Structure formats: C-alpha cells, structure tokens
Chains A and B, each alone.
Chain A
Amino acid sequence: MSSNTSNEQVTDESVNETDGTSDGAIIETDISVDRGSSHTTGHTETIVRAEGLDVYYGDDQALDNVTIEIPEHRVTAMIGPSGCGKSTFLRSINRMNDRIPAARVDGGLHFRGKNVYDDDVDPVALRRTIGQVFQSPNPFPKSIYDNVAYGLRVQGKADGMDLDAAVERALRGAALWDEVKDQLNESGLDLSGGQQQRLCIARAIATDPEVILMDEPTSALDPVAASKIEDLINELVDEYTVIIVTHNMQQAARISDKTAVFLTGGELVEFDDTATIFEDPDDDRVENYITGKFG
C-alpha cells in the first residue's frame, strides 16, 4: 500500500462518516479539502461533456437540462441527496441506462467530442472504453483470476497477450495483489467485501479503459475497507479519469478535484473545484446542503 500515515489519517476521519445528512455543525468543522489529493496542476482536456442532458424514466424526469464538462485525469465527484439524479447521470455516460426499458435520453452527452447517443455509437464499444464499479461489489461467480481476465476475454484482447501479467498488473493496480496472489484460482466470492470491491476495480482497469465510473463504491463497505478504496482512487487518476458518485460529502471533499452538486429534480446546481464547492459555494442551496440544512 502507498503510505501508512495517510491511511491512518483517513481512517480516523472515517469514524465520523455516517451519511450525508448528519449534524451540520460536525460536518462544517470536519470538512476540509485535502489538497494533497488534488491533481490540479494546469489545464487538462475535457473528456466527458454533457449539454442540455435530460433523462426520463417513463414520465418521471431524472435529469433536467444538465450541462457539465468533466476534465481528464481528475477525480470528479457527484454529490446530492437521494434521488437527485447523480447515479442516473453516471449511468448515462456508459449508456447502462439503455438496460432500463423505460429510460429516454434527450440532449447531448459527449465523450471525447462524440455524442454517445448518436446512432453510430455502439454501447458495447463505449463500455469497453468506460469502465464501471458498482455500489455493492458484484464479482462474477468465477475465480479471482477469471474475474480479472473476464474483460480482456470478452473484448477479444486475451489472445496472444500475457494474460498472467495483465491479471497481476490489474490486481497490483487495485492494491489487491499481495492479498490474493496465492489464491488466484479461488472464487472471487470468497473474498471479504472490501477485497471484492477492489477485485471489481481490478476487473475494470484490466482492460485499460479511459474513464472509470464509480457508483458509491464504498457505501457497502466498512470504514477501513472504504479508506483503502479511497487511497486507490487517488492513485488511479494518474492513468484514468474517475467519476464518482457518493453520498458521503467528506469522501467527496477528501478525494475529488471537482465536485458537482445535484439537487432534487435532477438539476445540476453547481459544478466547480471541490475546494470552492465546500468552502465558498455560489449557490445558497448548495451551501445549505453542504452544511446539512437541506437534503
């Protein structure tokens, strides 16, 4: 693991994390943006850009006219109360919303300048470029090795490559290698919850995607396991772009460079540098939400 000191520090903070709606006073004093984790050095390119994005589930509108530019090689956090549309936004990036029959999308969502909802975009190809880690760990009922190799195999990249090396690389990248290197042929389901989630991250990075979407990846984990994932996210942005949905404002403050605040009704209220959002937000509703007076 990277460094024990930062690990402990995060763990201490985690003791206070319950959910986003705890007592405002505590949150106000607790939230401090961890500048050490920021990667804001100079200009980076936009990798995902939404423009007037509306998403409906049947008659319900889940996203309302969302416009946002998400930078490459940064951690961008999506926060907001339950049902605000932050997960919907995440799922519309890799078109997992297509799997919901009643879902309908208007407006544009561009990945590297290409609208992913254009007719000629293949969602399968899109998902091979944009990985996802889910709320609760969902390893396949296969061995650890086969879980990591799964993406390479389905994407046809496994032939003629050193699969063992690729699996090791991905597991190291997910900070799991040392824990599982002797049990690669055992079922992924035998791991602990935190290990399973890191296995899912290893599975996602094994195919070398450009963006990794994370939908509340630590909400099903205990604080120690969660802090390991947070450390991992900080390392991942060197190679990938991470977009993370979280209920936990301290987590957003700790690990993200940019923060987007969604509020009820699927409206993106404010999007800025994380420090600005938590210390000096423009919108009163955001300030109220951050300080626990709303949501």
Chain B
Amino acid sequence: MSTETQSGSGISGDDSLEAAHEKNRRVRRVLFGCAAVTVVTTVAIFLVLFDNAASYFFGARISEVLFDGDSIARTVTFTEFFTGTRWAPDHATPAHGVLPIVWGTLAITIGAGLVSIPIGTATALYLSEYASSDTRNRLKPILEILAGIPTIVYGYFAVSFLTPVLVDGIATFLVNPAGRGLDSVSHHAPGLLEPLASGMMGASVGRYSMLAGILVVGTMTIPMVSSISEDAMQAVPDDLRNGAYALGATKYQVSTRIVLPAAVSGIFASYILALSRAIGETMAVTMAAGFNANLTVNPFDEIMTMTAYLVSMARGTSAVGTVQYQSLFAVGLLLFLMTLTMNLLNDRLKQRFQEEYR
C-alpha cells in the first residue's frame, strides 16, 4: 500500500504521445473525408442532373435561376415528355415524347432478361448442384470472362457477326417456310403480329435490330446471374440437401424443391442486378440495336435506347446551351432514377438473403 503514492508512472500520457494521438485524429479526419467523397458523388449526380435537366423543361438551369436571376420559360411540358410518342428533340419540327426511347431500353432489358435469367439460373444450378468441383473451378472463371470483356468489343461482335450472320439468318429462316405459316398466325392476332410479320417479309435486316441488342446484352449479363445465384445456392446449408436425399429425392428434386426455394432471394437479387446492368448498358446496345426511336415490338426493327440517345447526342463542349445538350440531362436523370430504383430493390433483397442465413 505504501507504493500507492507513486501514482501512475506516466500512464496518463505525455507530449510525445499526444502528438501520436493528434496524428491519429488528423488521419481519421482525412479518411472520413475520403469516405465522404463517395456520398458527395451521389449528391453531385443528383444536383447536376436535376440542375441541367431543368433547362430542358424550363429554359434555365436551377442554378441560373437562383444565382443569376434567369427567368423561367416553359419549353417542354411534362405531359409531352412523358406521354408523347415521338422522340426527336433536335429535329426541325421537334418532338419531346420520351416514350420511344424508354420503350427501347425496356425492350432490351426485358429481352436480355429472357436470355440471361433462364440461362444464368440453369448455369448456376449446374455449377452448384451437378458439376464436379473440377468442372466448376474451370467453367466459372471462363464464364466470368464474359463479364470482363469491354462492351465495345460486344458492340463490334454485334456489328461484324451477330447482325449480319445470326440475326439475318434467323430472319431469312423465318420468312422462307413462312408464307403460309405466318399468314395463319397473323390471322389470329393481327394487331400484335402484323408489324412483326411485315418486318420479316422485308426479310433483309438492316444494320441494327432489337434482337441483336437483346442477344449481346443477354450474353454479357449471364455471368452476373450465374455467379451471384451460384453463390446463393452454395450458401444453402448442406444439411437441407442431405435431409432431402435421405428421403429418397433425386438431384432434380433437390435442385428445384430445396435449393432454388432456399436461395430464392439471393437469386432474385442477381436478376435485379442483371436487369439494372442491362438498363445502363450503353456501347454494345448502341452498336447492336441502333439509333432509330421506334415504338415497335418487332425484334428485327432498329430501335433506340436511352443510352444510345445519350451517345448519339454527345458533342463534348460544342453543344452547350442547345436543346440537344439539355435533353441529355433529362434523359440521363430518368436513366439514373430507373437504375437507382433497381439498386435499392437489389439492396433490400440482399439484406433479406443475409438475414435468412445468419
């Protein structure tokens, strides 16, 4: 007890230690700044898109109205923007209906989903439940190459092979034995299939087609579905499988009745991710599907997606102040909000999946 008076022997810290602590605090602030940059980026995207998009609808940017006192003039009404069916903001007789290019994006997204979702899910099931670990270790990285190939290369692939060989081949094949067959089909549902039939009667597919866009975007999103779904399937506890096999279930039954339902939210998350990626996909879809804002369901027609419009109107510095430049941000904002919705949905699903297996 006599020693209690020594009191501490310097554990309260001194100046040199204070310097180390100060450094630690400074570093912490800098690192927080780095983290804040990511939030600032999102805020900047919101502000810049809204700010510039305003000039498309009101003739002046929000910032110009606030800081320079510019006046507002209604140039494009929301009614026209959201309900008009012709999109040609830069035309001599301009039209500002965004529907055709929104449809273009949706058509590609839905079509690509019809390719990548079944194929990706089947691939994931094969990798997770059927393939030997050797096959899985070899096939999985190869499929992931599909996701690593630059989209410009897919675009070139569409221009040089898919459209002239595959899509053209399909169109010709459908038309030749078709005379009779198509007649009878279109007889039952003329409204929907007439443009399809007439498009195919034309037989020669142009340089661009919805189908080519669907095929490239579908292909490039396969690995997202297969990889993430397979991870979700692998996370299903083996006890569940063993329980089912012990009851005499076949692999098919285990796959479809045990693994798929147990991994379902993880699998759905992969679908959302693939669809979100398809919405934002730019180069491949531009080079495959084209630049013509058609409201069409004919897969052999040229269409224009929102991203293709952005690419076609990109002029760097030269176009500032023109309606083309302003329209970029109106379309960009819409695109951003669409992918944001998908991302939030994906986040929600992923969380649910993690909760299921905690």
CB distance from B78 to the nearest CB of A (A): 50
Contacts of B13 in A (CB 8 A): 121-122, 124-125
Which residues 8-32 in B have Cβ within 8 Å of A in the complex?
Answer: 8-14, 16-17, 19-21
A210 within 8 A of B: yes
A122–B15 alpha-carbon span in the complex (Å) = 12
Contacts of B12 in A (CB 8 A): 114, 120-122, 125
A261 within 8 A of B: no
Whether A113 contacts B11 in the complex (CB less than 8 A), given A45-B2, A125-B17, comes out as no
Which residues 108-123 in A have Cβ within 8 Å of B in the complex?
Answer: 110-114, 116, 120-122
Contacts of A11 in B (CB 8 A): none
Which residues 308-348 in B have Cβ within 8 Å of A in the complex?
Answer: none
Are B1 and A122 interface neighbours, CB within 8 A? no
Contact with B along A93-131 (1 / 0, CB 8 A): 000000000000000001111101000111011101100
A126–B12 alpha-carbon span in the complex (Å) = 7
A234 within 8 A of B: no
Are A122 and B11 interface neighbours, CB within 8 A? yes
Contacts of A46 in B (CB 8 A): 1, 3-4
Contacts of A129 in B (CB 8 A): 9-11
Name the residue of chain A whose CB is nearest to the CB of B1. A46
Which residues 168-187 in A have Cβ within 8 Å of B in the complex?
Answer: none
Indicate the member of A47, A113, A122, A125 with the most B CB atoms within 10 Å: A125
Are B8 and A114 interface neighbours, CB within 8 A? yes
Are B3 and A121 interface neighbours, CB within 8 A? no
Contacts of A113 in B (CB 8 A): 3-8
A114–B6 alpha-carbon span in the complex (Å) = 8
Are A110 and B16 interface neighbours, CB within 8 A? no
A156 within 8 A of B: yes
A111–B7 alpha-carbon span in the complex (Å) = 8
Contacts of A128 in B (CB 8 A): 17
Are B10 and A156 interface neighbours, CB within 8 A? no
Contacts of A45 in B (CB 8 A): 2-3
Contacts of A126 in B (CB 8 A): 11
A-B contact count (CB 8 A): 59
CB distance from B51 to the nearest CB of A (A): 42
Contacts of B9 in A (CB 8 A): 111-112, 114, 129, 210
A113–B12 alpha-carbon span in the complex (Å) = 13
A46–B6 alpha-carbon span in the complex (Å) = 11
CB distance from A242 to the nearest CB of B (A): 18
A136–B3 alpha-carbon span in the complex (Å) = 34
Indicate the member of B5, B13, B14, B21 with the most A CB atoms within 10 Å: B13
Contact with A along B140-175 (1 / 0, CB 8 A): 000000000000000000000000000000000000
Are A122 and B17 interface neighbours, CB within 8 A? yes
Indicate the member of B4, B5, B6, B11 with the most A CB atoms within 10 Å: B11
Are A110 and B17 interface neighbours, CB within 8 A? no
Contacts of A125 in B (CB 8 A): 10-14, 17
Name the residue of chain A whose CB is nearest to the CB of B4. A113
Which residues 200-258 in A have Cβ within 8 Å of B in the complex?
Answer: 210
Indicate the member of A110, A114, A129, A156 with the most B CB atoms within 10 Å: A114
CB distance from A188 to the nearest CB of B (A): 24
Indicate the member of A47, A113, A126, A156 with the most B CB atoms within 10 Å: A113
Identify 23 residue pairs between A and B in the complex whose beta-carbon atoms are under 8 Å apart, listed by A's number.
Answer: A45-B2, A46-B3, A46-B4, A111-B8, A112-B3, A112-B4, A112-B8, A112-B9, A113-B5, A113-B6, A113-B7, A114-B12, A116-B11, A121-B12, A122-B21, A124-B13, A124-B17, A125-B10, A129-B10, A154-B20, A156-B16, A156-B19, A156-B20
What 5 A-B pairs come out closest when comparing CB atoms?
Answer: A114-B8, A113-B4, A122-B13, A45-B3, A125-B13
Interface residues of A (CB under 8 A from B): 45-47, 72, 110-114, 116, 120-122, 124-126, 128-129, 154, 156, 210
Given A111-B11, A112-B6, A121-B8, output 8 extra A-B contacts at Cβ < 8 Å: A45-B2, A46-B3, A112-B3, A112-B4, A113-B7, A120-B12, A121-B13, A125-B13
